[in-house]
Amino acid sequence: MSRLIIISNRVSAPKGSMSGAQGGLAVALQAALRESGGIWFGWSGEYTDQFTGQINFQRNEGVTTATVDLEEQDIEEYYNGYANRTLWPLFHYRIDLAEYERDFAGGYQRTNERFADTVRPLIEEEDVIWIQDYHMFPLGAELRKRGFNNRMGFFLHIPWPPRRLLTTLPEAHELVASMFAYDVIGFHTQEWLESFCDFARIELGATLEGDGVVRLGDRTVQLLNCPIGIDSQDFTKMTNSDVAAATFDQMRKSAVDRAMIVGVDRLDYSKGLEERFNGYERFLEENPEQRKEQFLLQIAPPSRAAVDSYQRIRARLEAMSGHINGAYADLDWVPIRYVNQGYPRDVLAGVYRAARIGLVTPLRDGMNLVAKEFVAAQDPEDPGVLILSRFAGAAAQMPTALLVNPLSAEEIADAISQALVMPLKERIERWKPLYDNVMEEDVSWWRERFTAALMPEGQLQRQEHPA
C-alpha cells in the first residue's frame, strides 16, 4: 500500500487535545496516516523572521507530523489576506466583502511555493498526496512543476461559487487551470461540483468526458461528490459521557421547563447569525403566546479576529442581542443567551441533547457539521427538531429537517413556531432518517470514499505530467 501524504494549512494535534470538526477530521485523517505510515505536513502556527524551510518533525500515537514556520508577511498575505479576505468571502458568495489585492495574491502564491519546496524532500515515488482546502489550491501544480508524478487529490471544505461570481476574482482562470494538476477533486455536494465544472467548461474550455471526468489540454481530473460527516462513534461516546449527562441536567434545570433553541457556530458572517437573530425576533414579535415558553442559546466563539469584517459582525451581534433582550426580556425571562466562547465536545453534546430545536442557518456553508452533531446527540425517544438552511451543504443529505431560506426572517420565525409545537411522532419521523444518515455517512465513510477514488483498487494509475 502507498503512503499517504496529507497537506493542509494547519496540522491538527493528536487525539485528546482537539475539538469540533477539526477533531473529527483530524481523527479520520490520522487513522488514514496510521494505516499507510504517512506524514501530515503544514504550517506550524509559528512565525520566523527569515523563512528557512526547516521542518519540525513530531511523532505521536503512530502519526508523523511535519511542520514549517512562516514569516509574518506570509501569514498576513496568504492566510489573513488571500485565504480569509479574498477566497473565503468570495466562495461564500460575499463579493461585497471580498478584497482583491495583488499583494495577497502574490503572497498566497509565494507561500504555496514555499510549501512545495519544503515538502519536496519528504515525498517518495509511490506516495499518494492529498491536499486539503482553499489555502492550497495551487500547491498541486507547484509540485508538478517540481517534477512529481504522484497521484494527487484535493478536497474543498467550503462551497464552490457560481461561475459569474468567480469571474470577479482577477486570478480565477489561472487558479482553476492550476487545479488540473490534481487527479481527483472532492466537493461536499453535487451543486459545488457542478459549479466548478461550469467554470472549467465555459471559462477555460474544458470538456466533459462523462462520469465526473473533465479534461483540460492533456490533463484529466475526476470530480467527486463526497460529503464529509462527523466522527459518529466518537460523538456517540461523547453523548453518553458523564460530562454530557451533567451538562444536560444543568441545562434542563436552568431552562425551567422552557424549550431551548440552540445555535452553535464560529462567529463568522457566513453562518447567518444576524439573519438568525432577525428571524428569532420576528418569531417573538409574531407569536406572543409562545414567547416565554422558550429561549435561544447562541454559542459563538470569535474567530479570525485579525480580519475587520469579523470585528464588525461581532459588534453587530452584540448590539442585536442587546436590542432584542432589551425589547422583550421580563423579570423572570431573557430571550437570548449569547455566549462568546467555545466548549469541549462532550459539553456541546449535552447542550444539543437538552435542546428542543437546533437552529443551523448559514447563508452558505460547505457542509456544516453542527447540524450533524445536533442530530447525533438527540434522545431517540424524544428527539429535538433540526431547522436547517437550504444553503448548507448538509441540506442535500438532510431532507427531513425543517429546511428554511436563512435570508427570510419569516421562514425562520415560522419554522421555530412549527418546531415548538411539533408532535412527538412527527419529530421522530423527521429525526430518524437524519440520524441513520449521520451514522452511516460519517467521517470514515468520507475518507474511504475519497481515498478509494484517489487510489483506485489500491493501484496507482499514473498520468504523464509534462513539467
Which residues of the chain form contacts with ligand ADQ (CB under 6 A)?
19-21, 157-158, 228, 264-266, 299, 301, 342-343, 348, 365-370, 373
To which H or E segment does residue 43 belong?
strand 39-47
Taking the C-alpha atoms of residue 117 and residue 138, their distance in angstroms, rounded to an integer, is 13
Give catalytic status of residue 414 as yes or no: no
- One-letter amino acid at 196 equals F
Taking the C-alpha atoms of residue 235 and residue 439, their distance in angstroms, rounded to an integer, is 10
Closest approach, Cβ 209 to ligand ADQ, in A, equals 28
CB atoms within 10 A of CB 285: 14
Smaller CB separation from ligand ADQ, 33 or 395: 395
Cell 484535493 belongs to 154
Catalytic residue among 268, 365, 414, 442: 365
Distance of CA 328 to the CA centre of its chain: 34
Catalytic residue among 92, 157, 188, 465: 157
**Where do the H-state alpha helices sit in 9-101?**
20-36, 72-74, 88-91
Smaller CB separation from ligand ADQ, 144 or 266: 266
CB atoms within 10 A of CB 245: 15
Smaller CB separation from ligand ADQ, 148 or 192: 192
What 3 state SS string does 99-133 have?
CCCHHHHHHHHHHHHHHHHHHHHHCCCCCEEEEEC
Taking the C-alpha atoms of residue 112 and residue 168, their distance in angstroms, rounded to an integer, is 22
Smaller CB separation from ligand ADQ, 20 or 406: 20
Closest approach, Cβ 26 to ligand ADQ, in A, equals 11
Taking the C-alpha atoms of residue 420 and residue 423, their distance in angstroms, rounded to an integer, is 9
Please provide residue 95's backbone torsions phi and psi, each rounded to the nearest 5 degrees: -65, -15
Among 65, 15, 13, which Cα is nearest to 39's? 65
Give catalytic status of residue 157 as yes or no: yes
Closest approach, Cβ 369 to ligand ADQ, in A, equals 4
Closest approach, Cβ 84 to ligand ADQ, in A, equals 12
Closest approach, Cβ 433 to ligand ADQ, in A, equals 20
Closest approach, Cβ 250 to ligand ADQ, in A, equals 16
Smaller CB separation from ligand ADQ, 3 or 353: 353
Smaller CB separation from ligand ADQ, 214 or 367: 367
Catalytic residue set? 157, 365
